[in-house]
Structure 1
């Protein structure tokens, strides 16, 4: 037989509370509370029998009859085991007898439809299970094993924890139950799944007596390295605090019922003696166990002279054990609270004698004739302040607001195991801080120097996201890099987030940084080269213009329509300079004028060439006798041609700017990691129409010049125009596919290159031969030479 000193302390705590109440002058004055104690010996049949005895009032069961008129049964305190309390509550609830349990935690007892008169001074398992789940999540333990007692207590507790973990996207690695009805307690199966699982943290929702069987097998197989999380059923167990379990349980953490001191209880306990304590038989057994002696009346025939005899003079103050240890009162304080609640409820009920309160209809209740349901009513509505200052009242389900101490199993210097309070879990906290934790006071297993980890897969670092592995729990995942353009700046991210449009992930993809801005800058090598080339190139036509001006009276210059050539050279210089609008930071005004300027100066240039070509043809056709075309050879005709061609292009540009003008655009599609600042044409149709119009003029010039190439060479510019237009068209036809394939600043660079190339083609083909003759072959720049060549 095992004698539990903690249970005997609870019995004495109940006596202590009753003595306080009976001695009180303000609480239930002139009324003495008594008690009956029944031991069910952990058998359901005896529990049922004892419950009916209490209702009947005698040691003979007579259902529906109470044979004891006085003193009346006011309430039943107990049971400490949920399964037994459920059985009692079903019976007592029929008669509405109030039942207050100091240790039954099953959440099913909160069902008022089944248990209308059940109350308890300990939190429901549903509170504890949710709290334990939050504790697991507090430490980041998302991959845990659950071991429960194969009873209502264990199954309900495991079920609630599982649901709470699933809500938080944590996972249960395995679930197993200790079966009390099996000889091996299902321990072999539990050992196997614990061995196979990678979960380091195991929640045990079972009483210490049954958990010990599992621990013994773990010791036998030297299976260590697990962190156990305790329910209140074993979190402060004296039995499991034995030194042999220290290698397994050191570092364990869990919930225990909130403790509070009871002034005067220790001295009360130390005064317990077989001669002055109710239950002489049980008290003598207690005395023999404490002092390792035997009373003469308890000796059997097998005793010998070495047996120590109990004298009754032994002093409890000379020993220290779990009976008189009042440093961490939990269950004893709970049963003390139960008695105080019952006394206050009876006091409120009987206070009607003094006109203070009545139950209903103005009728008062006699202390000798009260009904069970009347006591239940007052217990449900009781408001009591305990000695620790905490207010007590029941909710509609008969539950108190839950308060737990968080205890940590630590190995002392002397090798003994101690349960140290390191925090609390208080659902009634007014500041909303349910968890109060002193993490620095927590001691883990010797191999763990910091909070141990229990996860199926390590948390994904920044820059990665979780991807669930098919067929595995959600906690078992792979870490995959964030997609292009997205980041994750927290560890364990489920999803990556996109950066704002003007930002881009860094190399590690853990933060967004401002995108680089790209445009054809004059400060970069490419832009600087094009700028210098443009400026130098623009001087060439002006130099030729200066040369022509100096030799304007010579036959070569006069024969090539001096005025039109001057306009052409100026327009070529402008063509070169127009490319500067494509270099540098784009601005709205620059975007508006960029393409239009380019189009107008090139139209002027090509229209001049077209006019020169037409004038060459007309000049030679007008030399025929009687030709009516002589009047069309006037210089004004060439100006009209140039003007008409430019007016048409000007009208097109005005329509373009009016209906769909170009605008500044931040392009992030071409290169998502870069902001390309470009000028959007606005209307692609207008842009290509403008370019096509220039191409049309150039094509007409090319065809006319090609047909006129056989005219007399001395006065014929047609060959030079043919080559220049051929080069011009070749450059711009090549530009179309090149611009479509280019990206970013290279689109602008390609257009600048096309402008420079086509302009140089015109300068070289149109003016280089003439400049060579004017400068180096002056003998060829004479009227006699030209006439002689013409006669040939």
Structure 2
């Protein structure tokens, strides 16, 4: 058995506080505090016995009986282990006897129905669990392993922390409980699982003694590169230096450390002959100076004939150990605080402070005679201002404000680990920042400067979103690019955001940029070519028109209805020019008139051809004896046909433009990432009616011309009309599926191409033979040749 120096320091802290209060004129000026110290050796039987002994006031414990008359027992400070404190609290709570623990952190002790008189100067594990979870989320560790001892401390701490981690969006890779009965047969399997896991962060909620078997096995299996997160139960243990290789860089919570002025000198003034508890003081002396007292009755832990003899005059200032090290007073400061809390409550009781029903008749109690439930009431409402500037009080569940130091274990040159405070967790921070941490001063397990990663899946960069993998935790995901038209400008995005209608994602899909607009413009090479072709092509009918005027007296020009041919040539020139209405930015006026103009001009053109065809048929049919068609061979008939056919198309267009006029629109669906500026015909039915009527005229002309192609004449124009209408119809039949498959400006280009091609078909088939005869075969342009019959 080893004498633990830090426990003896805690006893001296209690002594120091008592003596300091007894010297004070502010707290209990007319009373003197005393104390009893009892060592249960951390066994349940001794703990139960000691509790009853304190309540009885005798060396023999007698339940439900107290023979102590004076001085009264004010409060009990203890125990350290939560399970032992629960046992004490169940007994002491029956009498509402105040109990203040400096170590017990289990959240179960916050239940006031079971433990009505339990208080503590150390925060509940509930605060620690939430704080550790917050720290894990702060470092963006979303894939962590949890290790805990299989007792109340581990179970309750891990339960709260697991819930908080899950709420924060992180996931638990595994949960392991370490046996507290030294049965660790499965430890190799546990360490192997930890070694193979992709979780690089291990949160351990345990006390140091239960953690050692796990650390031993990790050393045996050479497990390195894991970042440990420690609970206060083992974060400042002196025995961690044995595992510096794997624990270097550990970060965790520790009970807040504070300074007690004058405590260093007080500790060094202790002497085995002038200190209460002579047996303990001699045991401490032998441990501190590695000596032994020579008296045969001395029963010490280090009795050995080979050691030097203790004189009691040795100087504690010449040794440095865990006893007189006051650089980080944690548990000892809680003992110091507990004494002050008790003394302040006694002082309030003696002064009748905050009486609200606890004392019958609102009378002040005599400090030599009061009930334990009365002091419990004052402890509930106590407020103590300590030397470090903090104010101590208790919440309704008996817990003090939660304050923790964040400790980082950093390696030193001699192979040991140094505890460095790198932050704090303070629920009463005046600035409002409960969690503060200086990340730049942290030494990490894997790298001195960079925060280690612990994720199930790598971070999704901007432009990607997370998609969960089937059957795996939400932290295990795959990164999928944002869909078309969506972006995300943050990493690990859950959803992508749609860009506004006039914007489009950039190549990285992390921001929206303005969509380029597309239309068939005069600056576009395709637009330039089509515009030039349209303009130049329109000159050809004009040239033929002038040629016909020059040769208007020749038989071939007069035989084919000179006036209708001139109208046809003018309309063909306009057919070429109407293509220009489809080029350029779609203005409202342009959209309104371009299809109607196209339909009317082409209707005029086809009507002229139909008129010529009908006249040819009537002229030949009227030559038969007794024919009634002679009256239809007058010059007015062609003009009637042209007027009627064109008027019908004009009526259709007027109805279309009046009821459902076309308009310009921004089409964002035709081509992804591009705004197509186009004309919306508004009524597809009206558009196809217009085009269908035009096709009907052309079909009628083709049919009549086809039937009249064999009429006897040396120059029968019906043949030319047949070919021209066949070419015309072929172009527009091809245009329908082509226009449906084209997108954007190419839809407009297809219609322009159809206009130019069909017009060229008419010009070529109708006038090329005539122009050839006029220019190159004038011998055929004679009346004799025209009157010769070529067949029946």
The verdict on a shared fold, with TM-score over 0.5 as the criterion, is yes
- Which range is displaced more, 290-299 or 301-310? 301-310
C-alpha distance in 2, partners of 1:282/1:189?
Answer: 43
Could you report, residue by residue, the CA deviation over 1:534-572 in whole angstroms, capped at 9, with x for unpaired residues?
A: 111111111111212222233322222222222211211
Match 2:264 to one of 266, 287, 291: 266
Shift of 1:106: 0.4
Contact in 2 for aligned 1:351/1:357 (Cα 8 Å): no
User: Counterpart in 2 of 1:579?
Assistant: 579
Match 1:248 to one of 229, 246, 249: 246
Shift of 1:319: 1.9
C-alpha distance in 1, partners of 2:17/2:588?
Answer: 89
Contact in 2 for aligned 1:358/1:364 (Cα 8 Å): no
Residues 1:432 and 1:300: Cα distance change in structure 2 (over 3 Å): closer
Q: How does 1:515-554 map to 2 (within 5 A)?
A: 515-554=515-554
Shift of 1:690: 0.5
C-alpha distance in 2, partners of 1:722/1:680?
Answer: 35
Residues 1:590 and 1:400: Cα distance change in structure 2 (over 3 Å): farther
Contact in 2 for aligned 1:21/1:27 (Cα 8 Å): yes
User: Counterpart in 2 of 1:293?
Assistant: 291
Shift of 1:509: 4.0
C-alpha distance in 1, partners of 2:186/2:18?
Answer: 43
Is 1:344 aligned to 2:344, yes or no?
A: yes
Contact in 2 for aligned 1:349/1:359 (Cα 8 Å): no
User: Counterpart in 1 of 2:34?
Assistant: 34
User: Counterpart in 2 of 1:17?
Assistant: 17
Partner SS, residue 757 of structure 1: helix
Could you report, residue by residue, the CA deviation over 1:173-230 in whole angstroms, capped at 9, with x for unpaired residues?
A: 2222222223448644533433343322212211122223332333344333222211
User: Counterpart in 2 of 1:458?
Assistant: 458
Contact in 2 for aligned 1:656/1:686 (Cα 8 Å): yes
Shift of 1:250: 0.9
Is 1:775 aligned to 2:775, yes or no?
A: yes
User: Counterpart in 2 of 1:422?
Assistant: 422
- Which range is displaced more, 492-501 or 163-172? 492-501
Residues 1:755 and 1:356: Cα distance change in structure 2 (over 3 Å): closer
Partner SS, residue 706 of structure 1: helix
Is 1:166 aligned to 2:166, yes or no?
A: yes
User: Counterpart in 2 of 1:150?
Assistant: 150
Partner SS, residue 31 of structure 1: coil
Shift of 1:715: 6.5
Q: Which runs of 5+ in 1 are unaligned?
A: none
Partner SS, residue 291 of structure 2: coil
Q: How does 1:49-68 map to 2 (within 5 A)?
A: 49-68=49-68
C-alpha distance in 2, partners of 1:303/1:612?
Answer: 138
Shift of 1:422: 0.6
Is 1:605 aligned to 2:605, yes or no?
A: yes
User: Counterpart in 2 of 1:570?
Assistant: 570
C-alpha distance in 1, partners of 2:307/2:600?
Answer: 126
Partner SS, residue 546 of structure 1: helix
Could you report, residue by residue, the CA deviation over 1:369-390 in whole angstroms, capped at 9, with x for unpaired residues?
A: 3222221222212223222222
Contact in 2 for aligned 1:142/1:454 (Cα 8 Å): yes
Shift of 1:708: 2.6
Residues 1:682 and 1:783: Cα distance change in structure 2 (over 3 Å): same
C-alpha distance in 2, partners of 1:77/1:102?
Answer: 7
User: Counterpart in 2 of 1:322?
Assistant: 322
- Which range is displaced more, 502-511 or 562-571? 502-511
- Which range is displaced more, 261-270 or 682-691? 261-270
Residues 1:693 and 1:791: Cα distance change in structure 2 (over 3 Å): closer
C-alpha distance in 1, partners of 2:510/2:8?
Answer: 61
C-alpha distance in 1, partners of 2:683/2:329?
Answer: 85
Could you report, residue by residue, the CA deviation over 1:41-66 in whole angstroms, capped at 9, with x for unpaired residues?
A: 11011111111111112222222222
Partner SS, residue 351 of structure 2: helix
RMSD of the alignment, in Å? 2.7
Shift of 1:305: 6.8
C-alpha distance in 2, partners of 1:722/1:472?
Answer: 73
Match 2:278 to one of 272, 277, 280: 280
Shift of 1:146: 1.8
TM-score scaled by structure 2? 0.94
Contact in 2 for aligned 1:606/1:697 (Cα 8 Å): yes
Shift of 1:627: 5.6
User: Counterpart in 2 of 1:392?
Assistant: 392
Residues 1:428 and 1:567: Cα distance change in structure 2 (over 3 Å): farther
User: Counterpart in 1 of 2:661?
Assistant: 661
Partner SS, residue 224 of structure 2: coil
Shift of 1:260: 1.8
Partner SS, residue 713 of structure 1: coil
- Which range is displaced more, 756-765 or 188-197? 188-197
User: Counterpart in 2 of 1:47?
Assistant: 47
Is 1:121 aligned to 2:121, yes or no?
A: yes
- Which range is displaced more, 724-733 or 369-378? 369-378
Shift of 1:663: 2.6
Is 1:766 aligned to 2:769, yes or no?
A: no
Shift of 1:96: 0.9
Shift of 1:633: 3.5
User: Counterpart in 2 of 1:180?
Assistant: 180
Residues 1:86 and 1:489: Cα distance change in structure 2 (over 3 Å): same
Residues 1:5 and 1:786: Cα distance change in structure 2 (over 3 Å): same
Residues 1:776 and 1:54: Cα distance change in structure 2 (over 3 Å): same
C-alpha distance in 2, partners of 1:575/1:259?
Answer: 96
User: Counterpart in 1 of 2:223?
Assistant: 223
Partner SS, residue 126 of structure 2: helix
Shift of 1:582: 2.1
Contact in 2 for aligned 1:179/1:185 (Cα 8 Å): no
Residues 1:188 and 1:3: Cα distance change in structure 2 (over 3 Å): farther
Residues 1:155 and 1:356: Cα distance change in structure 2 (over 3 Å): closer
User: Counterpart in 1 of 2:110?
Assistant: 110
Contact in 1 for aligned 2:292/2:303 (Cα 8 Å): no
User: Counterpart in 1 of 2:711?
Assistant: 711
Residues 1:402 and 1:300: Cα distance change in structure 2 (over 3 Å): closer
Partner SS, residue 296 of structure 1: coil
Residues 1:588 and 1:121: Cα distance change in structure 2 (over 3 Å): farther
Shift of 1:630: 4.5
Residues 1:656 and 1:431: Cα distance change in structure 2 (over 3 Å): farther
User: Counterpart in 2 of 1:3?
Assistant: 3
Count of matched residue pairs: 790
Shift of 1:734: 1.7
Partner SS, residue 770 of structure 1: helix
Contact in 2 for aligned 1:352/1:358 (Cα 8 Å): no
Contact in 1 for aligned 2:712/2:791 (Cα 8 Å): no
Could you report, residue by residue, the CA deviation over 1:240-267 in whole angstroms, capped at 9, with x for unpaired residues?
A: 2x3x322121111100111221111111
C-alpha distance in 2, partners of 1:183/1:354?
Answer: 52
Partner SS, residue 490 of structure 2: coil
Contact in 2 for aligned 1:96/1:116 (Cα 8 Å): yes
Could you report, residue by residue, the CA deviation over 1:497-556 in whole angstroms, capped at 9, with x for unpaired residues?
A: 444433444444444444443333333333322222111111111111121222223332
Residues 1:273 and 1:683: Cα distance change in structure 2 (over 3 Å): same
User: Counterpart in 2 of 1:382?
Assistant: 382
Could you report, residue by residue, the CA deviation over 1:8-35 in whole angstroms, capped at 9, with x for unpaired residues?
A: 1111111121122111112122011211
User: Counterpart in 1 of 2:691?
Assistant: 691
Shift of 1:728: 1.0
- Which range is displaced more, 657-666 or 768-777? 657-666
- Which range is displaced more, 464-473 or 674-683? 464-473
Contact in 1 for aligned 2:440/2:449 (Cα 8 Å): no
Shift of 1:282: 0.5
- Which range is displaced more, 48-57 or 363-372? 363-372
TM-score scaled by structure 1? 0.94
User: Counterpart in 2 of 1:477?
Assistant: 477
Residues 1:222 and 1:620: Cα distance change in structure 2 (over 3 Å): closer
Q: Which runs of 5+ in 2 are unaligned?
A: none
Residues 1:151 and 1:314: Cα distance change in structure 2 (over 3 Å): same
Shift of 1:629: 4.5
User: Counterpart in 1 of 2:212?
Assistant: 212
Shift of 1:784: 4.5
C-alpha distance in 2, partners of 1:355/1:37?
Answer: 32
Residues 1:385 and 1:656: Cα distance change in structure 2 (over 3 Å): farther
